[in-house]
Amino acid sequence: MGTVVLAVGALMASSIGTIASAEPRATVESITADEAPDGSRLVEVTPVGESQMNFTVHSTAMDKDVTVRVIRAASGKRPTVYMLGGVEGNSEQFGWEQKADVEKFFSDKDVNVVIPFGGQSSYYADWQRDDPELGRNKWQTFLTKELPPIVDSALDTTGKNAIAGLSMSATSVLNLAISKPGLYQSVGAYSGCAMTSDPVARRFVEITVADFGGNPENMWGAANDPLWAANDPYVNAEKLRGTTLYISNGSGLPGPYDTLDARTVGGDRRALATQVVVGGVIEAVTNDCTMRLAEKLRALDIPATVDLRPVGTHSWGYWRDDLTTSWPMMGAAIGA
């Protein structure tokens, strides 16, 4: 397999007439990454901050470059936590960094943090067909087969992984763990609906996929297609055995982050109304899914930490708390 060597962080004076005497303003760090078995590869590394960088990774399965934000561990060989976004995905403008201060949160955790950009309305799944609006989605392949060997070789990790997701991706992280047993030692699923093939839950999935213009039939086919059940964590819960699980949800009733002075509201009355009404309804739906998943896990005698809050809407304040609450357990499972 090939090796890609990339220069990271070169900041040089370049004025004509002063190049010869200019001193480097930052040290160049070389990062080496093996190609994935299917030829996916690290194309470029761009420094973003003192410990942050963007990996540009070419996905063979999706035939495109994917930006991946990386927060590198402070010391040597360390484990990795992957963090997936909601229906909006992650980006430079929106996601875990902007809404949950993950750089600050993980600053004293000494763990590699990997945040893939993109994935809007995709459920981070492998779609049957290309979609006119959302393009080619082979996120499951990318996240379980293409990206991990690149990250592991580039950052010299321990090979131990955790994964966390919220809302749409709370379903995804469970499916990813089911699809690739042993890849993730711990999973955090916050405010998601783990059921996809139940008629009511399927309608919830259809609405989520349509949020960015996608056609759910391009993902898992028509309503009677067996792919819906194949991608249903509730149906396939037995395959979660042996994985450290943290599953959480609010009730949908207003709580401490549903106020005008909340960070997600910023004094905007319309935003507050949307968070309380729309966010309340969504959280109530996912709460029912989460309770049913918890019952299924208990029936199967599969250990899981389940945090069902008496209040809380579908919003970032609660997901920041979920990360804080779940991390000691998730981190311990990967040796962080």
Q: Confidence class of residue 23 from pLDDT cuts 50, 70 and 90?
A: very low
Contacts of 84 (CB under 8 A, 6+ apart): 90, 116, 119, 124, 143, 163, 164, 165, 166, 169, 172, 173
Residue 228 has pLDDT above 50, yes or no: yes
Q: Which two tokens stand for residue 72?
A: 């590198």
Please tell me the predicted confidence (pLDDT) of residue 148.
98
Q: What is the mean pLDDT of residues 151-164?
A: 97
Q: What is the mean pLDDT of residues 196-209?
A: 95
- 229-261 pLDDT per residue, tens: 999 999 999 999 999 999 999 999 999 999 999
Report the CATH fold assignment for 41-334.
Rossmann fold (3.40.50)
User: Which strand (E) or helix (H) includes residue 163?
Assistant: strand 161-166
pTM (2 decimals)?
0.90
Residue 149 has pLDDT above 50, yes or no: yes
Please tell me the predicted confidence (pLDDT) of residue 29.
61
Contacts of 52 (CB under 8 A, 6+ apart): 69, 70, 71, 72, 103
Contacts of 157 (CB under 8 A, 6+ apart): 77, 78, 79, 80, 112, 151
Reference 155, options 105, 81, 102; nearest CA is 81
Residue 9 has pLDDT above 50, yes or no: no
Average model confidence (pLDDT) across the chain: 91
- 110-123 pLDDT per residue, tens: 999 999 999 999 99
Instruction: Look at strands 244-249 and 41-47 and give their pairing.
Output: unpaired
What is the Cα–Cα distance from 156 to 77, expressed in whole angstroms?
A: 6
Residue 124 · residue 143 · CB < 8 Å: yes
- 62-77 pLDDT per residue, tens: 999 999 999 999 888 9
Residue 19 has pLDDT above 50, yes or no: no
Q: Confidence class of residue 8 from pLDDT cuts 50, 70 and 90?
A: very low
Residue 24 has pLDDT above 60, yes or no: no
